């Protein structure tokens, strides 16, 4: 059984690594953002509740998120485990989660802050097709232009250095107590996220173990 929470700051490569791990273990990768959007699109009662908050620019309250997550975890494909990405974000959410979702491991991807800022500040996005590039690691063929449609690439406001610093501060303020909470339960397995994605994945996979 692999019931996993994946933690890591913005820019650490969490989504890429989680998707690959989910494929290898044949378990679902559950992003709370995706779950909320799916519930809204399906027009479920909980989805309609969530939509009202999202439309007003508010965070969806934890009880609604937890109910949507609980419904998803009851699906047959979660019987062998799951990877939770984006939840919990703080200790109260972790405590609430424990009542519906037992965990086997909390994988914490770690990367120096300077490296994170470099990764995020180099990201560029096509405003037309949403393709993502990176000035250092995945540059477009023509500088500043999307390979697919030639549109001028842009930098998202939250990828600017000053915004990144704020995002990282918020992450650390929320996640440091969360990691302490999980360490007390013997669940945390640190993963060094430096190096190529393949190297990081090998460390991540080793942290999971055989289950």
89 as an active site residue: the answer is yes
Assess whether 185 carries a catalytic annotation: no
pLDDT of residue 21: 94
Residue 44 lies in a domain: no
- Among 14, 72, 124, 203, the one annotated catalytic: 14
What are phi and psi for residue 59, nearest 5 degrees? -65, 140
Per the annotation, the verdict on 72 as an active-site residue is: no
In-domain check, residue 96: yes
In this prediction, residue 156 carries a pLDDT of 87
pTM beyond 0.85: no
The answer to whether 123 is a known catalytic residue is yes
pLDDT (0 to 100) of residue 210? 64
- Residue 192 sits in a domain of what CATH number? 3.40.50.300
Q: For 109-133, how does the pLDDT look when each residue is reduced to its tens digit (9 = 90+)?
A: 999 988 888 888 899 999 999 898 9
In this structure, is residue 6 part of a structural domain?
yes
| Count: domains in the chain | 1
Query: What's the domain range around 87?
Result: 2-28+75-111+166-208
Look at residue 193 and tell me if it is in a domain: yes
Is residue 12 included in any domain, yes or no? yes
In a domain, 94, yes or no: yes
128 occurs within a structural domain: no
Instruction: Examine the residue annotation and report whether 167 is marked as an active-site residue of this protein.
Output: yes
Residue 137 lies inside a defined structural domain of this protein: no
What pLDDT sits at residue 15?
83
From the candidates 72, 119, 123, 203, which is the catalytic residue? 123
Dump strand ranges (E) for 88-148: 105-110, 123-125, 132-134
Exactly one of 20, 67, 89, 189 is catalytic; name it: 89
> Which is catalytic among the residues 37, 67, 167, 205?
167
DSSP per position, 82-104? EEEES---SHHHHHHHHTT---S
Catalytic residue of the set 156, 160, 183, 194: 156
CA angle centred on 39, ends 73 and 95, rounded to 5°: 45
The distance in angstroms from the start CA to the end CA of the chain is 6
DSSP code string of 14-33: HHHHHHHHHHHHT--EEEHH
Per-residue model confidence as pLDDT tens for the chain (211 residues): 899 999 998 888 888 899 899 999 999 999 888 888 889 999 999 999 999 888 887 878 889 999 999 999 999 999 999 999 988 988 999 999 998 888 999 999 999 988 888 888 899 999 999 898 989 888 999 999 999 999 999 998 888 888 888 888 888 888 889 999 999 999 999 999 998 889 999 999 998 876 5
């Amino acid at each position: 059984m692999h019931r996993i929470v994946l933690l890591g700051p913005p820019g650490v490569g969490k989504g890429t690594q989680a998707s690959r791990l989910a494929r290898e273990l044949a378990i679902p990768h559950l992003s709370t953002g995706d779950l909320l959007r799916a519930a809204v699109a399906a027009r479920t009662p909980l989805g309609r509740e969530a939509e009202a908050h999202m439309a007003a620019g508010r965070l969806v309250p934890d009880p609604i998120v937890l109910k949507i997550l609980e419904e998803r975890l009851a699906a047959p494909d979660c019987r062998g485990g799951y990877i939770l990405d984006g939840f919990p974000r703080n200790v109260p959410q972790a405590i609430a989660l424990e009542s519906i979702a037992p965990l086997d491991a909390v994988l914490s991807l770690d990367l120096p802050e300077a490296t994170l800022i470099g990764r995020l500040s180099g990201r560029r996005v096509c405003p037309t097709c949403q393709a993502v590039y990176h000035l250092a690691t995945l540059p477009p063929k023509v500088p500043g232009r999307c390979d697919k449609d030639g549109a001028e690439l842009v930098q998202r406001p939250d990828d600017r250095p000053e915004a990144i610093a704020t995002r990282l501060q918020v992450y650390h303020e929320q996640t440091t107590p969360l990691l302490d909470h999980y360490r007390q339960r013997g669940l945390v397995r640190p993963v060094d996220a430096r190096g190529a994605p393949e190297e990081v994945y090998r460390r991540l996979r080793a942290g999971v173990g055989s289950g």
